[in-house]
Structure 1
Amino acid sequence: MSQEQDFDEFYLGSVRRVTAQLVAMLGDPVEAEDAVQEAYARAWQRWDSVSRMDDPVAWVRLVAYRIKVSSWRSAVRRTVAHRRHGPPPDVPDLSPDSVALVTALRGIPEAQRRAIVLYHLAGLTVEQVAAEVGAPVGTVKARLSRGRAALAQVLSESKDGDLKGRPSYA
């Protein structure tokens, strides 16, 4: 039996039971389902070791529970910080130029968009961008060049009224 088939059999044979148990523990079906799905995703990522455990279902159940506990702790920390520091200061409205730029950035491929934002908006050097995105310097330079050209085209289209606020993922 392949690893995928083995995991599928494990998942199908246990997911309803684990979900029901987490619903009973947490009291919220939506939170339980989210935590259980995340736990199964983590089990799949470690299936070589999880499948050899005495009780893989117990591992999934424990991971799902810990996911929710961690989520609760984060929510408590946010609440305490909010009480201590108050609400965040008002964020000024975005200018029409900023909105147009973000809309245009959505219209270019993700790798080019990321390179342009890191280089032009975050102020990183080409070498720093390359290190952050895990690409060679030459690739980053090409992405910047192609991204600028694509961005110019998207911006000119938006001036002509062709963009209509919808990203294109060419």
Structure 2
Amino acid sequence: MPEPTSRALPAWSEFQRRMRRYVGGRVEPAWADDVTGDIFLRLLQRQDSLAEARDPLAWTYRVAANVIADHHRRRSVERRTLEQLGAEARAPDPGSNGGDHEALRRDLEACLLPFALELPPKYAEALLLTYFEELSQVEAARRLGLSVSGMKSRVQRARAMLKRQLMDCCDFELDRRGAVIDMRPREAGRDGSAAG
């Protein structure tokens, strides 16, 4: 089969392979399939623009680059948001008693637990052990019979999945340093469909 020109799209299987390789070099391995799927979804949603593109292959790679940039922005916001929520739950307010800190922690756990339980079981278990039962990652790895690096990877992936759920559910307002200053539920349902 002749090599496609720069102005033509390659065969679908070859295009998938190229796109996965392109994405794999730009995002964490754990997210490569998700981001590749997001790219294909965006291409499908914008197929009219693709049909009108002067250079379809270049256009698809611009779309891919935009999806990858969106992924990195979202991951950065998610990371800061969850880290701040965790820090607020762990750090008592100066001048308050320990009861306020515990009440905040219980409220936060009650809010996050339903989201955590919706994760695939191995990721839910990782969060339950390390955040809700407050085991160290070393202790959690020992309990589950995993290597410490395997446990760290699982916790990191679980946190990322939880952050994504939070970002899908709520709109967060951030200050200049990226700290959460307000949060509002989105108007859409949990499945992304418009409310009402």
Is this a same-fold pair by TM over 0.5?
A: no
TM-score (norm 1): 0.41
Q: From the two aligned structures, give the one with the greater helix fraction.
A: 1
Instruction: Flag the structure with more relative contact order, 1 or 2, with Cα contacts below 8 A and sequence separation at least 6.
Output: 1
TM-score using structure 2 length? 0.36
- Which of 1 and 2 has greater Rg? 1
**Structure (1/2) with the larger strand percentage:** 2
